[in-house]
Amino acid sequence: MTLNSLINGEIGHSINSSDRGFQYGDGLFETILVEANAVCYLTEHLQRLKRGCRVLGFPPIDDQLIEREINQIVANNQNGVIKILLSRGIGERGFQPPKDPEITRVVSFAPTDAGVSKSLRCVDLFLCHTRLSRQPLLAGIKHLNQLERILARQELANFESAEGLMLDVDDNVIEGTMSNLFIAVNDVLMTPLLDNAGVEGVIRQRLIEQAAKEGIECREVELTLEELQSADEIFMTNSLMPVRSVKQFKVNGQVFRKMNNHYAGWALNYLLTDIQRQVQAFGAQGT
């Protein structure tokens, strides 16, 4: 029998109403692809989670404990999504955090019928009015306060197969509502610099590293709307997609068509091969 979630290692579906994750969004999360029981890029997700713990002043996580709990709730040969959530736990009223917090740890699994898509899918990209604030202390990590992205997703409620582009308050291109962004210009890949806002995605970092290995020029830079409008290609990435090519970029009533998907295809082919390698490695461990 597959368990839906573990709370501090015990089967459960609720937390204390005084938990600081509920009260203040005082916590972190990771969302991780499971393909044929293999938990993809788990090391990288745990590294980002550790970075978030250092930023928020949480105690260090126990990698082995989390891995044991993941294995406990994922049944044989399943596809799906693991979510790890950490909060600072139960605290007194007020913003001041407890000196010695007892972290609330939730590990949950949502099974899916199908695995990662083997074909390159397309999305329309819309400019969102909602902006991301600039906060270098929190840039890069996945914390529980995601209200800006929730507001931005509401702007897309009437659109199917769509993603929203988010700028920061200084008009810099940052990311999608649930994805990172790459563009290609004259055979150079570029992705927004995330020093002050945005999430440093696991897939984004993997592609930056792979591009360097293959001699593909890939730059982390400040990007403008005008550069996206004139780009040869735009594609979006996250841990679950893992790649979506943008076919149309819509800005204030204007439509910029993007017919090229050369680098999106490169990214997807690399990631599918890499994920399959992880699946095979997991299978070999179980034999």
Q: Extract the tokens encoding 167.
A: 């700028």
Nearest residue to 44 via CA among 241, 279, 272, 207? 207
Confirm if 100 and 27 have CB atoms less than 8 A apart: no
What are φ and ψ of residue 39, in 5° steps? -90, 105
Nearest residue to 3 via CA among 80, 106, 109? 109
Question: Exposure string (b/e) for 239-276, b if CB count within 10 Å is 16 or more?
Answer: bbbbbbbbbbbeeeeeebebeebebbbbbbebbbebbb
In the numeric block, the tokens 């010695």 are attached to 100
Residue 24: helix, strand or coil by DSSP?
A: helix
Q: Quick one: CA dihedral 89, 94, 97, 100, positive or negative?
A: negative
Task: Examine residue 192 and say whether the peptide bond preceding it is cis (omega within 30 degrees of 0).
Answer: no
31 flagged as catalytic: yes
Q: Extract the tokens encoding 159.
A: 């659109």
Q: What is each CA distance from 249 to 15, 54, 157, 229, in whole angstroms?
A: 41, 37, 17, 7
Given 30, 69, 142, 233, which residue is catalytic?
A: 142
Given 163, 175, 200, 233, which residue is catalytic?
A: 175
**Angle CA 161–163–164, to nearest 5:** 150
172 Cβ contact partners less than 8 Å away, ≥ 6 residues apart: 192, 193, 197, 222, 223, 224
Q: Catalytic amino acids?
A: 31, 142, 175
